[in-house]
């Protein structure tokens, strides 16, 4: 459950980092790490939502 709760923060911070990296003109690196943060946030949100749906409807 904590991963599902922290997923929106991962998506927000990863996308914010990607914007800063792109606007830096090549001076700041780490776009792969930021993109993986966004992807992990999306996966965490999907599992969190799936867990809630499972808990509400199937248990």
pLDDT of residue 52 exceeding 70, the answer is yes
CA distance 25 to 42: 27
Report residue 27 as tokens. 């001076």
Q: Give the per-residue pLDDT at 3.
A: 67
pTM score, two decimals? 0.84
Q: Give the per-residue pLDDT at 1.
A: 59
Report residue 21 as tokens. 């990296």
Mean pLDDT of the chain: 92
pLDDT interval class at 44 (50, 70, 90): very high
What is residue 26's DSSP assignment? T
CA distance 38 to 18: 9
State pLDDT tens for residues 7-31. 999 999 999 999 999 999 989 999 9
Report residue 29 as tokens. 């690196």
How many other CB atoms are there within 10 angstroms of residue 35's CB atom?
A: 15
């Amino acid at each position: 459950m904590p991963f599902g709760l922290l997923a929106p923060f991962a998506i927000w911070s990863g996308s914010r980092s990607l914007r800063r990296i792109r606007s830096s003109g090549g001076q700041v690196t780490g776009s792969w790490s930021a993109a993986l943060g966004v992807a992990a946030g999306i996966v965490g949100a999907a599992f969190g939502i799936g867990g809630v749906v499972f808990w509400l409807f199937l248990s």
